Structure 1
Amino acid sequence: MDNTRVRLMTDLQRIEKEHYQLREGERLQDFLALMLHYIGDPQPELRDDLICTTFYEWFQDENMLTATELHSLLAVLTDEQHLFYRIGSENDSSVFTRAFSILPHCVDCRTP
């Protein structure tokens, strides 16, 4: 596991414990960039439990993302590196990137 991935997991676990609030000096944009990078990670804990749930919580809090930030984020999620990533490929994990890039568009991407 690479150090950036491990750090992201640790940070998102802490953020979850702190009710999805960022600490002083932390920037939402830094986390969003890493979350987008790992949105198709084959490991369900990172992808499902941490990234998807954090997106959901941050989207529900109107103060976390401005309309401009949300529009920019959704544009990235629908680009060639996310929603259309490696369309037609077989026998690889690219399907996770495509599938999980659409979930932040949903009202509730958490499992009941």
Structure 2
Amino acid sequence: MEAVFAELAADLAPVYRRRDLRANGVLYLRGLLMPGVAGNCWSIAEAVGLDRPYRLHHLLERAHWEEDTARNVVRAFLTRHLGADGGVLIFDETGQAKKGKKTAAVGRQYSGTMGRVENVIVAVSL
């Protein structure tokens, strides 16, 4: 599994112009792929051995890197590795109730989880 992760990290290397951003991107990706880790910077930072999440915050909020290129690289990687005969991808949409309006992507919409129109954020998992 480590060899496959190293391949993905190498494929993503050109996305980042600086070495420190590349290292932070690899840490972030490694944390996202760890089982049982919540998808927030504090949890990911702790899981990958960082004391604080500030490097990951910088990567996501202020650093300059090519998001479209990253998406294309990951798509090509998945096509190579998940393109086996009989393979399937399953999409799952889940709504999570939110009381305020300050969270990104929150809006009044129908949530199958709650069975009604509510203030929710919808996440799609693959």
Q: Which has the higher contact order (CA 8 A, sep 6+)?
A: 1
TM-score > 0.5 by shorter chain: no
TM-score w.r.t. the length of structure 1 is 0.35
Give the greater-gyration-radius structure (CA): 2
TM-score w.r.t. the length of structure 2 is 0.32
